[in-house]
Structure 1
Amino acid sequence: MRVVTGDKFEKFVNENAILFPEYRKNRDELLDFVDSLTGEETVVTASLELIDLIAWKFRRGEENVLIYSDTGGALTLKEVYELRKYLDFDVRGGLSGERARTSVLFVEGKTDAKFFKAVFKKLFEFKESREAPHSLRFIERVFERDNFDLLRREEDGYYLAVIPSEGNSGVIRNLGNLLRAMEVFDFRVDRIGAAIDVDEDRESALASIRGKLSGFRYKKTPFGYLVGETEVIPLIIGLPFEDETIEWKKPTVEDLMLHLIAREGLLEKIKPGLKALNESLGRKLKPKEVMYLALSAYGHWGNLEGFYELFVMRSRFRNLKAVLREAGLIEGLFYLAGREGERRR
């Protein structure tokens, strides 16, 4: 199966191609058309709904591709399906040559996204933005959702997008798909951050990123890996937390928050409650359970994501920076924020 889109589709048209008009077609007609396809056809279309249906049906197999006629580049329909599902990416293109001072940070989940969003606002003077740069227009619509965050620094116009990705594997998947999309659609972002937890050890986490980059030409840099003109910055989250009331198993963003609430003095205030709950349950508490207790003690009656963002924003600058430095994240964060030339105190 070949799906052709873009403005220069004429060279792909032959006697076997189906020119599918995107207007005046309801969903039932689209479904009937897709059901009739055998996989041997070439379909020329600018209909995102039709592309979604075809990508779902033919997402298996390397031979099933979408061709962007403006560049002649191709994505597998599996890649198209994932770009649409996880990034709401507009695979019709129209982005050729677009670039701006922009970073994208993929994180594991919504709480991670709110934590890092607050870090960039607190440390690097970013503010929330509703206007996307041209190099991020491919996912501009996703920023209408509450769990996607687009930030901009007013003084230099630097943009940063923070995008949750459904776990470590989701971060790695989105990283690879975005790099492939930049190849095919000829646009650029300056830097892509990949924030993942240490599951076994730091080297294994880095190996998972390098494994995804093995499908591209890349070289090592002081901060990460250079793929074309885009630098990939690993942010490996791993900062053990030791406490007699808390059961620590593996590093997550919750551990960064535990260190921060300890430095801010909140952990000590809730210690009597933690010990009482330990005795009542007959076990140590999980980090996320501690976070809910801290949320209640802090007087925040929203959700955990809102608490993460609020607490980071209200924390002392030096305490937040100390936790991030101890976790080995501060250098990468400075780089993603476009502040790598500043002195780190």
Structure 2
Amino acid sequence: MRVVTGKDYEKFVEEGAIPFPECGKNREELVEFVKNLRGDETIVTSSLELLELIASAFKNGEENVLVYSESGKQLTLKEVYELRKYLDFDVRGGFPKERARTTVLFVEGKTDSKFFKGVFKKLFEFRESRSPPGNLRFIEKVFERDNFDLLKREDGVHLAIIPSEGNSGVIRNLGNFLRAMDVFGFNVDRIGVAVDIDEDEKNAIASIEGTLSGFGYEKSDYVYLVGETEVVPLFIGLPFRDELIDWKKPTVEELMLHLLAKEGLLERVRPGLRALNENLGRKLKPKDVMYLALSAYGHWGNLEGFYELFVMRSRFKNLKAILREAGLMAGLERLAFWEGKGGTFRAGQV
């Protein structure tokens, strides 16, 4: 199966492709059309709905591809399926050539997203924005859903923070995003990948380098260079020990636990922690602590909102101290186009 999109599609029609007339077709008609495909056709279309249906039906097999006629390059339909599902990416191409200093940061989940959103607002003077530059226009609809976060600083730097459904999702989105940049001819300056190191930091490094291996990357002291784009890893791993808390693996929650302790909130809720510990008959999970802290702090929103709010209201020096100890400051400054001096960036040890 080949699906052709982009404005230079005429040559494919001359070769016998099927130009699909999207106008006036409802979803049932599109579904029926896809059901009747054999899998050896070439379809020309500008319908996102039809592209999604075809990608879902033919996502298996390297021979099933989307061809972007303006560049002559192609994505597998599996990549198209994942770009649509996880990034709401406009796989029809045709993005504005406007260029702005832009960073995309892939994180594991929504709480991670709000934590880093608070960090960039607190430390690097970013503010929320609803106007993506041309090189982020492909996911403009996503920002309207309050699912992803788009930030901008007065000097024109843009930052998109995108939750990615776990470590594997971060790595998947990194690979698909780099492929899409190559096929559709757009660029961002920096891509951040925030991953938990779990038990072994070497595995986290290997997963990133394995994904980048298909793009001919170069490695400097603490970033990877793919074409003109820097890929900046942020490895999360700062153990937290407490007699009442059952800490098992590195996550953004551990950074929050350190911040709660430095800000004095952990001691304020300790009587509640002891009572809950006795009642449950076990050590508390970090998320148990977060909900107690949320209540004690007087925040009646969700956990994601609490992460952002607490980071924003924390002491500047406490937040920076934790991020430095975690080896994250230099990488964050790089992603933010910040000229300040950060702490040791753990990726430099690769």
| Superposition misfits of 4+ residues, deviation over 6 angstroms | none
Name the counterpart of 2:145.
145
Q: Aligned partners of 1:243, 1:75: CA distance in 2, in Å?
A: 48
Name the counterpart of 1:122.
122
TM-score scaled by length of structure 1: 0.97
Shift of 1:51: 0.6
| Residues 195-204 or 119-128, more deviating | 195-204
Instruction: Provide, for residues 261-290 of structure 1, a one-character-per-residue CA deviation record: whole Å limited to 9, x for no partner.
Output: 100000011111111211221111011110
Name the counterpart of 1:204.
203
Instruction: Provide, for residues 220-251 of structure 1, a one-character-per-residue CA deviation record: whole Å limited to 9, x for no partner.
Output: 02232111111111011001001111111001
Q: Is the 8 A contact 2:96 2:134 kept in 1?
A: no
Name the counterpart of 1:110.
110
Name the counterpart of 1:192.
191
Which residues of 2 match residues 58-137 of structure 1 at below 5 A? 58-95=58-95, 97-137=97-137
Query: Residue type of the partner of 1:343?
Result: K
Shift of 1:96: 6.6
Shift of 1:199: 1.6
Name the counterpart of 2:346.
none
Tell me the secondary structure at the aligned position of residue 308 of structure 2: helix
Name the counterpart of 1:20.
20
Query: Residue type of the partner of 2:323?
Result: L
Q: Is the 8 A contact 2:18 2:43 kept in 1?
A: yes
Tell me the secondary structure at the aligned position of residue 214 of structure 1: helix
Query: Residue type of the partner of 2:331?
Result: G
How many residue pairs end up in the alignment? Answer: 343
Would you say 1:314 and 2:313 are equivalent positions?
Answer: yes
Name the counterpart of 2:332.
333
Residue ranges of structure 2 left out of the alignment (5+ in a row): 344-350
Q: Is the 8 A contact 1:111 1:308 kept in 2?
A: yes
Shift of 1:15: 5.0
Q: Is the 8 A contact 1:258 1:287 kept in 2?
A: yes
Q: Is the 8 A contact 1:97 1:186 kept in 2?
A: no
Tell me the secondary structure at the aligned position of residue 333 of structure 1: helix
Would you say 1:292 and 2:291 are equivalent positions?
Answer: yes
Q: Aligned partners of 2:147, 2:27: CA distance in 1, in Å?
A: 28
Tell me the secondary structure at the aligned position of residue 140 of structure 2: helix
Tell me the secondary structure at the aligned position of residue 159 of structure 2: strand
Q: Is the 8 A contact 2:117 2:308 kept in 1?
A: yes
Q: Aligned partners of 1:172, 1:303: CA distance in 2, in Å?
A: 27
Would you say 1:265 and 2:264 are equivalent positions?
Answer: yes
Residue ranges of structure 1 left out of the alignment (5+ in a row): none
Q: Is the 8 A contact 2:294 2:306 kept in 1?
A: yes
Shift of 1:291: 0.6
Query: Residue type of the partner of 1:284?
Result: K
Q: Is the 8 A contact 1:96 1:186 kept in 2?
A: no
Q: Aligned partners of 1:238, 1:198: CA distance in 2, in Å?
A: 6
Tell me the secondary structure at the aligned position of residue 182 of structure 2: helix
Q: Aligned partners of 1:268, 1:15: CA distance in 2, in Å?
A: 72
Q: Aligned partners of 1:184, 1:343: CA distance in 2, in Å?
A: 36
Q: Is the 8 A contact 1:292 1:304 kept in 2?
A: yes
Would you say 1:248 and 2:247 are equivalent positions?
Answer: yes
Name the counterpart of 1:10.
10
Query: Residue type of the partner of 1:122?
Result: K
Instruction: Provide, for residues 124-167 of structure 1, a one-character-per-residue CA deviation record: whole Å limited to 9, x for no partner.
Output: 0000000000000000110011221000001x100000000000
Name the counterpart of 1:42.
42
Which residues of 2 match residues 164-175 of structure 1 at below 5 A? 164-175=163-174
Q: Aligned partners of 1:203, 1:289: CA distance in 2, in Å?
A: 30
Q: Aligned partners of 2:48, 2:69: CA distance in 1, in Å?
A: 15
Q: Aligned partners of 1:157, 1:202: CA distance in 2, in Å?
A: 34
Tell me the secondary structure at the aligned position of residue 13 of structure 1: helix
Q: Aligned partners of 1:282, 1:343: CA distance in 2, in Å?
A: 46
Name the counterpart of 1:178.
177
Q: Is the 8 A contact 2:102 2:190 kept in 1?
A: yes
| Residues 259-268 or 88-97, more deviating | 88-97
C-alpha RMSD over aligned residues:
1.1
Q: Is the 8 A contact 1:4 1:43 kept in 2?
A: yes
| Residues 318-327 or 275-284, more deviating | 275-284
Q: Is the 8 A contact 2:106 2:193 kept in 1?
A: yes
Q: Aligned partners of 1:72, 1:97: CA distance in 2, in Å?
A: 18
Q: Is the 8 A contact 1:113 1:147 kept in 2?
A: no
Q: 1:343 aligns with which of 333, 341, 344?
A: 341
